[in-house]
Structure 1
Amino acid sequence: MTSIINADTIKRMADEVGHDTLQLLLNVFSDELDQYFRQLSSQPTISQVREISHAIKSSAASFGADELAVMAQECESRVKQGQDQWILDHLPEYRQMVEGMAIEYRRLASLENPVNCLS
C-alpha cells in the first residue's frame, strides 16, 4: 500500500519555513513515524493504539500524509466506539501505512529540492 504525499501541503510548508527547515521537519516527522511504527509493532493495547492514533492524526495532516491522517482518525474513532476487533483486524494495515510513510518522508527529506519532486 503506497500513500501519496499531498504536494500542496508540502509546498505551503516550504513557503512558510524555508527549504532547509522543511528538510529538517521532514526528517523529524519520519523519525516520529518510526517511533509510532515500533510502538504499533510491539503488541500495543487498544488504549495505546488510540493514543498513537490521536498523535498521528494531526501531525500526518500537517505534513500532507492525508491517507494516514484519515486512517488514524478512523482508528481513534473505532477505539472510542469500543470496536476493538476492528482495530485488531486493521492493525497490520495501519502499521504498514505508518512504516511506508516514514520511509517516504525520509526519502523526501534526503532530496536536494523535495518540493520539486512532488509535482
Structure 2
Amino acid sequence: MAMSINASTIKRLSEEVGQDTVTLLLNVFSDELEQYLRQLSDQPTISQVREISHAIKSSAASFGADELAEMAQECESRVKQGQDQWMNDHLSEFTQMVKGMAIEYKQLASNDELINRML
C-alpha cells in the first residue's frame, strides 16, 4: 500500500503523545475526514466549502497529510478571493482527496505494523 502520509510527522506525534494515543488520534482524524466527506458530498455551498477547507487545513498538516493540507489551503484561498468557479471545478478533486486520506488513516490506525514502520 502506497501511503501519502508523512511518516516523520507521525513519528514526531508519537514521540509527543505515545503510540497508543497516536492510534486513537489517527482514528479521530479519520472520523473527522469522513464527516467532512459527507458534507462535501452533499452539494455544499461555497461558504461551507471554505469552512470545511479551513478546518481540514491545519488538522491535515498536524497529522502528516501534507498534500491534503495544501489542497485545503488552496481551496480556502480561492474561495476567499471570490474564485467560486475554480472551487466548483476542483470540488470533486478535493472530495476524492479527503476520501482517500480518510481511508489511509483508518487503515494506518488499525495496523500496528504500519505504524511501527513509520516510527
Shift of 1:112: 1.8
Q: In the aligned structure 2, how far is the partner of 1:68 from the partner of 1:38? A: 16
Describe how 1:22-101 pairs up with structure 2 within 5 A. Answer: 22-101=22-101
Instruction: Structure 2 unaligned segments of length 5 or more: list them.
Output: none
User: Is 1:10 matched up with 2:10?
Assistant: yes
- Give 1:96-115 correspondences, 5 Å limit: 96-115=96-115
**Matched residue pairs, number?**
118
Name the TM-score, length of structure 2 as normaliser. Answer: 0.94
Task: Provide the rounded CA distance (Å) in 2 between the counterparts of 1:21 and 1:4.
Answer: 21
2-structure distance, mates of 1:117, 1:78: 37
Q: Which whole-Å CA distance do the structure 1 matches of 2:37 and 2:73 have between them? A: 16
Q: Which residue type is aligned with residue 32 of structure 2?
A: E
Q: CA shift at 1:114, angstroms?
A: 3.9
Please report the TM-score for the alignment, with normalisation by the length of structure 1. Answer: 0.94
5+ residue gaps, structure 1: none
CA distance in 1, matches of 2:20, 2:109: 10
